Chain A
Amino acid sequence: MTEQLSDHTTDAYALQVQGLTKRYGDLVAVDDLSLQIKKEEIFGFLGPNGAGKTTAINMMVGLLSPTGGAVLINGQDRARVPKRSVGVCPQELVLWEELTCVENLTLIGDMYDLPRVVTNERVRSLLADLALSEKAKARVSQLSGGMKRRLNVALAVVHDPDIVVLDEPSSGLDPQSRLLLWDFIRSLKGKGKTTILTTHAMEEADALSDRVAIIDHGKLLQLDTPQNLKRTIGSGDIIEIQLAEPERNETVIAGLKSVKGIQEIKDVGGKINVRALNAVSLLPEILERVDAMHARVSDIAIRENTLEDVFIYLTGRGLRE
């Protein structure tokens, strides 16, 4: 799948990628990727491990030279755009452990040539927004994991960039910190920033993203709003059946495949997932068939289709290491 660039709406896009390709010998890490990210949107960038997300992001921000293709930022070639237009929060904690929070932020402000007065104000504001004010003068080595993660995000935006790239920003955060961070990410949209969010947490992508791109094997698989993806990819509800003997899952799946109305049935994490538009009405027949196969159901639930279902549907269940 390729998203076509529309020239007449260039001003509407913060970032445009066309035919972006990265090859390492015979390996194609990113394969002719084209997409457009609108200004002021939160753009979810999803894909399993090794799908090419980080490679694509690194080419977009200039850390990696593409083998082919072009990256435009605000309609201009990326190389000609001031570096301060983009802020990147890497997945790993990239902090100077022996410096304080303020010193870390000030250093980056200086590196972007911000006037010290502006930096000071930005630092104060960011520390407040990310609940780090009390730790302003604490060394990074003395911070908790959650605090470090929030400071990691702050360092990406201290220079007030137009585009913010957040790579797994909430990885390892407790629920409170995660909600605080989500509020912060939403506030960026309110300040006119464009946010590119890569995450494995589908709940996070669903909750925050205006649009979501799913890539695998370096190719763009789908690009749409989470709602549209859930509606069009694997539409319907999900019946999750937990058998008392999970080793019989494959036999039961084979026996249920002939039930009319079932769109998809598969083993997901030891549970049989049945997707159907009219799941509730199909439930009696499904249970009847399971009983006929002398399989015992230990648990059963019906839920709505999620972004994770879409993700698994598109990228499969195979482990990516």
Chain B
Amino acid sequence: MIIFAFAFGSPSSLGTGTTPHKIAVINLDRGATASINNTDLHINAGANFTALLENVTYEGTNTHMFTLTNASADQAQTLLKSRGLDAAITIPENFSQAVVSLSNASARTEATSDIGLQVINASSAQAAALSAQLPTNATLPRPSNVTAQVTVEGDTGSAAFGAAQGLIFNVLQQYESQIQATASRQVDATLGQNQSQLNGNYISAAVEPLTGARSFTYFDYQAPGLIVFALLLQVSSVAQDLARETDSGTLTRLKLSNMRSFDLLFGTLLTWIIIAVVQILLLFGVAVALGFQWSGGANSIELAVFIGIIGGIASISLGLLLAAFARNERQAAQLGVLIAVPVSFLTGAFFPLPSEPLGTAFGTTFQVYDLLPWTQVADAIRQVLVFGSSFSDVAIYVGFAIVLTAILFIVGVISYSRVRLRAE
């Protein structure tokens, strides 16, 4: 139940409601210098906006709208593809300049509006007196034509992205309004109250669909997960198959022969790898028939099969481990299902998983469930088939999957050999 709650009940898997959205901010802003009352002031609007995103809360609650993840552009892409992030915001390098420009334009508009209004309403004597009130060195700020576009990248087929993107746009709009209001207030302090309307768009926002996922649907996310789920079900089949050899006594007959442990285990491995390959291709074919769109052509399929084989070997290894300790064929089958199904949820085969960080290595934050080889396999297959990633793109996943599978295989082989293949 805990596992199911973990998988189904995680807030981020729903992507809606008053829950924090996982976002990354790639701040490329170089800052800008603003001249206020003839004093140069360096401002970093990108950092300000980032801080705003970090601190903004849902109305009437203490719940933050966003959880910010430190990530480079590449890391953000990877996280978006694995749905480790709901959205990634890129603040352009001229963001501060655009903010200064917006501020200046607001001040200018407000000032000209204030003065113009007073001139229209006053007599010539009052106008002369008004001019005398203005500071002798006062100059109206000159806005430049700098505009900046903040991009919000994510999987447009994801409900979580939709919700996050809406909130980000809203916050950006509020940020703009705040800048305008501040500039206007400063002018009004000198020239009196007036409501001016700024024309011109200095800061804009745009949605950037995730690369390789122009028509990314939820099924596209799930299809690679289904392949991993099928591979995980091999755990039950392998355990049952090996336990049957024990139950029927054929294993005893083989133990009496010249057969070495390697012969049996390699034979088992080879058979189930072939089954895994057939399974992957079959499921892939069915998924495509149901509308799954994959990227990368034949190379992607070959790479996905290779990665799937690693997942298959991991399943075979777990099957060996279960067959070593299961009392009979039935128990082996039941144990296999009992373990494979919850593990499939923990690997993120069907749903994005909540953040449960374990630590950071190689510049990547590892989650608790990353210790399962199938998690790595699921992420890698998803990236290859959905986003057309190359081997080098998924090398880190494949590397970890191989290491974790090797550990599981060694444990499985040692357990099975000691318990089942030696003299009792």
Contacts and interface: CB of A to CB of B under 8 A. Distances in A.
Contacts of A112: 257-258
Interface string B244-277: 0000111011111111000000000000000000
Interface stretch (A56-64, A243-251, A264-272): A56-64
Interface string A264-296: 000000000000000000000000000000000
A163 B353 CA distance: 61
Contact of B423 (A65, A96, A113): A65
Contact of A96 (B250, B255, B424): B250
A86 interface: yes
Contacts of B249: 90, 92, 94
Given A58-B424, A112-B258, 10 more contacts: A63-B252, A63-B423, A83-B256, A84-B257, A90-B249, A90-B252, A94-B248, A94-B253, A113-B258, A159-B257
B256 A63 contact: yes
Contacts of B259: 111
B289 to A, nearest CB: 32
Interface in A151-178: 155, 159
A30 interface: no
A159 B259 CA distance: 13
Contacts of A82: 258
Contacts of B248: 94
B253 A61 contact: no
Interface string A85-123: 011101010111000000000001001110000000000
Interface string B222-257: 000000000000000000000000001110111111
Contacts of B252: 63, 90, 94
A111 B258 contact: yes
Which 5 residue pairs are nearest across A and B when measured between Cβ atoms?
A111-B257, A94-B249, A65-B423, A111-B259, A94-B253
A212 B251 CA distance: 30
Contacts of A96: 250
Interface in A43-87: 58, 61-65, 82-84, 86-87
Interface of B: 248-250, 252-259, 423-424
A113 B249 CA distance: 21
A83 B257 CA distance: 6
A62 B424 contact: no
A83 B423 contact: no
A108 B254 CA distance: 8
Contacts of A84: 257-258
A87 B249 CA distance: 15
12 contacts: A58-B424, A62-B256, A83-B256, A84-B258, A86-B256, A90-B249, A90-B253, A94-B250, A94-B253, A108-B253, A111-B257, A112-B258
Contacts of A65: 423-424
A108 B257 contact: yes
Contacts of A94: 248-250, 252-253
Contacts of B255: 63
Contact of B253 (A62, A64, A155): A155
Contact of B424 (A63, A86, A95, A113): A63
A113 to B, nearest CB: 5
B423 A62 contact: yes
Majority-rule SS of A interface residues: loop
A159 B249 CA distance: 19
Contacts of B257: 83-84, 108, 111-112, 159
Nearest to B256: A88
B424 A64 contact: yes
A82 B255 CA distance: 13
A111 B257 CA distance: 6
B270 to A, nearest CB: 15
A13 B190 CA distance: 121
Contacts of A159: 257
A63 B254 CA distance: 11
B98 to A, nearest CB: 74
Nearest to A66: B423
A146 to B, nearest CB: 19
Nearest to A96: B250
Contacts of A87: 256
A57 B253 CA distance: 14
Count chain B CB atoms within 10 A of each CB in A58, A63, A65 and give the residue with the most.
A63
A44 B337 CA distance: 47
A123 to B, nearest CB: 15
Contacts of B253: 88, 90, 94, 108, 155
Contacts of B258: 82-84, 111-113
A310 to B, nearest CB: 32
Nearest to A95: B250
Which of the listed residues B253, B256, B423 has the most CB atoms from chain A within 10 Å of its own CB?
Answer: B256
Nearest to B423: A65
B257 to A, nearest CB: 4
Nearest to A62: B423
Nearest to A59: B423
Interface string A113-156: 10000000000000000000000000000000000000000010
Nearest to B264: A111
Interface in A223-258: none
A100 to B, nearest CB: 15
A113 B253 CA distance: 14
A95 B248 CA distance: 8
B264 to A, nearest CB: 10
A83 B254 CA distance: 11
B250 A64 contact: no
A58 B250 CA distance: 15
A175 B252 CA distance: 29
A159 B253 CA distance: 12
Contacts of B424: 58, 63-65
A111 B254 contact: yes
A216 B258 CA distance: 33
A151 B249 CA distance: 15
B254 A64 contact: no
A106 to B, nearest CB: 13
B253 to A, nearest CB: 5
Nearest to B257: A111
Nearest to A65: B423
A58 B257 CA distance: 14
Specify which of B250, B253, B258, B259 lies most central, judged by the most chain A CB atoms within 10 Å of its CB: B253
Contacts of A58: 424
A96 B250 CA distance: 7
A86 B250 CA distance: 16
Contacts of A88: 253, 256
A64 B423 contact: yes
Contacts of A111: 254, 257-259
